[in-house]
Amino acid sequence: MKEKKAPSEPKKQVDIYFDKYAESHQNSTNELIHWICVPLIVFSLLGLVWAIPFPHIGFLGKYNGMFNWASFLIAFAIFYYYKLSPVLSYLMLIIVMGFCYGITVLEQWHTTGGPALWQSCLVVFVLSWIGQFIGHKIEGKKPSFLDDVKFLLIGPIWLLHFILLKLKIRY
């Protein structure tokens, strides 16, 4: 008599994206570059969007400076992540809150004579993308986002899912 196999659960959409993303991220050097550059790209992109002038909204009072165009980017990204995986979205939200703190530190640095927020973030953004393209040159495959723009959003949670797997936390 044949043994019956347990029905396997269908793959979650997030896992399908991770599998597709992983196809162009097999080289260990490229993966290391991604561990460095992807968080820097997210941080610098948030900083660049944060630096775009935002109209003053009176009812926000002293918190007006904390609400800006980056708030919309964060809301969209976290919502998208939530639809894919609530656990990954919560983890990403915590990381983004840390990035927001870092951005406010850069803003304060500017008031004491440092470069403008957009300048600091632009340098980090450009250097990080150069790193990404070097990684993909080493890999020998084009970046995933050239096939589908949504992979720009998948990169950060693709890295986070490895941490959760290591900790044996379901995402």
Report if residue 23 sits inside a domain.
yes
Number of domains forming the structure of the chain: 1
Residue 117 belongs to some domain of the structure: yes
Residue 1 lies in a domain: no
Residue 62 near residue 160 (C-beta atoms within 8 A): no
In a domain, 60, yes or no: no
pLDDT of residue 98: 98
Q: Are 33 and 104 in contact (CB under 8 A)?
A: no
User: Is the residue at 8 inside a domain?
Assistant: no
pTM reported for the whole predicted model: 0.88
Could you tell me if residue 20 is inside a domain? yes
Tell me which residue range forms the domain holding 136.
Answer: 13-54+67-166
Host H or E run for residue 151: helix 151-166
Model confidence band, residue 128 (pLDDT cutoffs 50, 70, 90): very high
For residues 81 and 90, the answer to whether their CB atoms sit within 8 Å is no
The CA radius of gyration of the chain, in Å to the nearest whole number, is: 19
> How long a stretch of residues is the chain?
171
Average pLDDT value for the chain = 92
* pLDDT tens-digit series, residues 58-109: 888 888 877 899 999 999 999 999 999 999 999 999 999 999 999 999 999 9
